[in-house]
Amino acid sequence: MRRKLNLPLPPPEPRAFNEQQLADRWGLSTRTLQNWRRMSLGPVYLKLGNRVSYRIEDIQRYERDALRRGSGEPLHAGGAR
C-alpha cells in the first residue's frame, strides 16, 4: 500500500505583479522596467495613480512571444509552437 504524502501546495500565482515582483521574476532591476515603460517596451501594464501593475496573462503572453530558437527566430514563426 502506498503512503499519501501531505506536501504543502505552492502558493497560487498572483493575478497581477507589482513592479518589484516582476523585476524579481525576471532577474531585472525595477529601473529596467521603468525604462521599458518609458520606451513602450515590455509587457502592457496597468497604471492607477502611482501604482503600476502587470497582469499575469500579459506577463505570460510577453514571455511566450519572447521565446526564440537558436537562430534568434521567434519560436511562433513558421507555425511551430
Mean pLDDT of the chain: 87
Per-residue pLDDT of the chain in tens (81 residues, 90 and over written 9): 677 778 888 777 789 999 999 999 999 999 999 999 999 999 999 999 999 999 999 999 999 999 988 777 777 655 444
d(CA 1, CA 29) in angstroms, rounded, equals 50
Q: Report the predicted TM-score, pTM, of the whole model to 2 decimal places.
A: 0.72
Which positions ≥6 away from 74 have C-beta within 8 Å?
Answer: 65, 67, 68
Domain ranges of the chain: 16-66
CB of 74 closer than 8 Å to CB of 68: yes
* 43: DSSP letter: S
pLDDT for residue 36: 97
Backbone φ and ψ of 21, nearest 5°: -65, -40
